[in-house]
Structure 1
Amino acid sequence: MSMPYDVPEQKKIRLIINTDTKCEADDQYAIVHAVLTPRFKIKGIIGAHFGTRRETTMEESYAEIRHVLSLMGLQDQFEVYKGAPVKIPDTSTPVPSEGAEIIIREAMKEDEPPLYVIFLGPLTDLASAYLMEPAIAGRLTAIWIGGGAYPEGSREFNLSNDIDAANVVFQSPIPLWQVPKNVYDMVRVSLAELAVRVRPQGEIGKYLYEQLIQHNMDHGHQAHWPKGEMWVLGDSPAVALLLDEHMFEYDNVAAPRIDSQMRYVPGQEGRTIRVYRSIDARFTLEDFYAKLALFALSESDKE
């Protein structure tokens, strides 16, 4: 794995990826984007659960992460961990896991580059890590793809899978960047675009494309999603914001409490979080397409 450039050591960051990889088809794109990004020193990838539709969702995510890395020939370069298999039972009780433990271990290290943890699904493992070791709060920054649009909030998939965990994190001192649904939905792509820009790029490009097309067909009977000839690569902003934080595209807002209907309830004082109101989809997608093409080229040169 190599890019035709490097990044100054002082600009590199530590990164942990927490992903409900097998719930649909876009987490895989974000994982590939992240592992091909020279700025990131990836300290672990955590498989996350995606609700109660099946008892094995975390295990499915864990297996899918390993499969993606294997297709890239990178299975020995990154540690993969199992997150919590279920949501936390309440706002006081963690669900211990390998994922929560690696977050704690990395956060508590001294004299290391800044630590960021991106969450592409529920916040279960971050909430558990914080409940297990509150001292991590000032030692990492979390980026979460989840939650409804501000100011009211609304039902949203990642949030729905652990509302209590979101409330733990929102009420904690952990620096948090939130990318709500109306913002992550901005990363729209057409299937034709993916056929041209992703499918030709080696074995991993073929897999990314084909698994998304299969998911699209498998769920075609649903009334409102998917739409048929487009997709949203909604997890990819978590990667792009660590390349450029889009400093003019967010607001610092008082962290709300979240009720059982996933609405935002104001009233919390002294705690602010960063909430994004837009994302540069062109920058996000073109960086991914370029890195994927460069990786495919480097792999073909080895043959």
Structure 2
Amino acid sequence: MFSTRQLILDTDIGSDVDDAMALALILGTPSLELVATHTVYGDTRLRARLARRYGALAGRDLTVVAGTAEPLSGREVWWPGHEGTLHDDLESETFAPGSAPEDLVARLQANPGELDVVAIGPLTNLAAALELEPQVAQWIRHLWVMGGHFGADAKPEHNFKSDHVAARTVLTAGIPTTITAIEITQQVTIGADLLQRIRAAGALGAALGADIEQWWAYWKETWNVPHDPIAVLTLSRPDLFTLSPRGRITIADDGLSTFAPDPTGTVRIVTELDTAAAAEEITARIVAASGETDGDGS
């Protein structure tokens, strides 16, 4: 349906299960070619091993580079403590040497204007890359971000709040950017029916299903919001979304984000989505990543 897009995924995989869901979605989407995965925020080496493990479960040898651990803002890292606990022998998973910001600069410099970046965690790696090489802002084809809150009752959102310094640096750098914020993502939920389809999808689905249930137990819920997969869908399935006109983003010191329309700006935010189609597409692509046939017939 859409031409193949090469992308780099920047992720804090391992806490909220939606990062792992987003990675699986990418691996199950033929129109997306994952060039590299970068980890950010907290124990980025553990996150890198977990990304490698999910790649292996999908039969993929992923290039993964660990990134910046500490937010530029100095804010304490939020760490639930269950990261990777359901995956045996994670220490055996190896990842590429070097640092994610340096890897990002090198890949963009070698392929200017050809790579999309999907950032679904704090924006620390991207801010560090811009510090190393300001031309990064011109080399990124498009930046797709999960973060912020632009609704009537807006509050500081986790990714922007965790490193408001990085968010401010990246989102005012002039990079063509699409942001999917939580007032949009919270319209979609993954419940027991969709979990059953995911869990039935081979080794990848079983592992992801277990992590989903662990996340549900952590919050004492029987559903979760797939924030990060929805941000990926803005790239792979733009037909499911409505976007604002171009504008500019302001990030306060507490991480609160505001959007102001401005035809000279480079940022657009998602204003509407097809919720039913988004939930179905997320589930179907995760199942496809496992190489299994969806029992729902999708």
Q: TM-score range by the shorter chain?
A: 0.7 to 0.9
Cα distance, 1:242 vs structure 2 = 1.4
Classify the secondary structure of the residue corresponding to 1:257.
strand
Q: Determine which of 274, 285, 289 is the counterpart of 2:279.
A: 285
Q: Which residue of 1 aligns with 2:267?
A: 273
Name the amino acid aligned to 2:35.
Answer: K
- Of all paired residues, the percent bearing the same amino acid is 22
- Match runs of 1:170-189 below 5 Å: 170-189=171-190
| Rounded Cα–Cα distance in structure 2 between residues aligned with 1:185 and 1:108 | 36
Contact kept? 1:240, 1:283, Cα under 8 Å: no
- Match runs of 1:55-70 below 5 Å: 56-70=42-56
Name the amino acid aligned to 1:38.
Answer: P
| Rounded Cα–Cα distance in structure 1 between residues aligned with 2:292 and 2:217 | 32
Contact kept? 1:14, 1:113, Cα under 8 Å: no
* CA deviation vs aligned residue, 1:98-153 (integer Å, no higher than 9, x gap): 2112221222224x773111111111111111121111212211111001124674
Runs of at least 5 residues in structure 1 that lack an aligned partner in the other structure: 1-6, 50-55, 91-96, 221-227
- Normalising by structure 1, report the TM-score: 0.80
Q: Is residue 23 from structure 1 mapped to residue 7 from structure 2 by the alignment?
A: no
Contact kept? 1:13, 1:113, Cα under 8 Å: no
Classify the secondary structure of the residue corresponding to 1:232.
coil
Runs of at least 5 residues in structure 2 that lack an aligned partner in the other structure: 75-97, 294-298
Q: Is residue 235 from structure 1 mapped to residue 228 from structure 2 by the alignment?
A: yes
* CA deviation vs aligned residue, 1:199-250 (integer Å, no higher than 9, x gap): 1111111111111112222343xxxxxxx22210111112211123248611
Classify the secondary structure of the residue corresponding to 2:110.
coil
Q: Which residue of 2 aligns with 1:132?
A: 132
Contact kept? 1:151, 1:264, Cα under 8 Å: no
- Normalising by structure 2, report the TM-score: 0.81
Instruction: Show structure 1 runs of 4+ deviating over 6 A.
Output: 266-269
Q: Is residue 81 from structure 1 mapped to residue 82 from structure 2 by the alignment?
A: no
* CA deviation vs aligned residue, 1:22-76 (integer Å, no higher than 9, x gap): 1221111110110121112211011111xxxxxx4322321211121122232x2
| Rounded Cα–Cα distance in structure 1 between residues aligned with 2:201 and 2:117 | 28
Contact kept? 1:62, 1:80, Cα under 8 Å: yes
State how many pairs are aligned: 269
Classify the secondary structure of the residue corresponding to 1:45.
strand
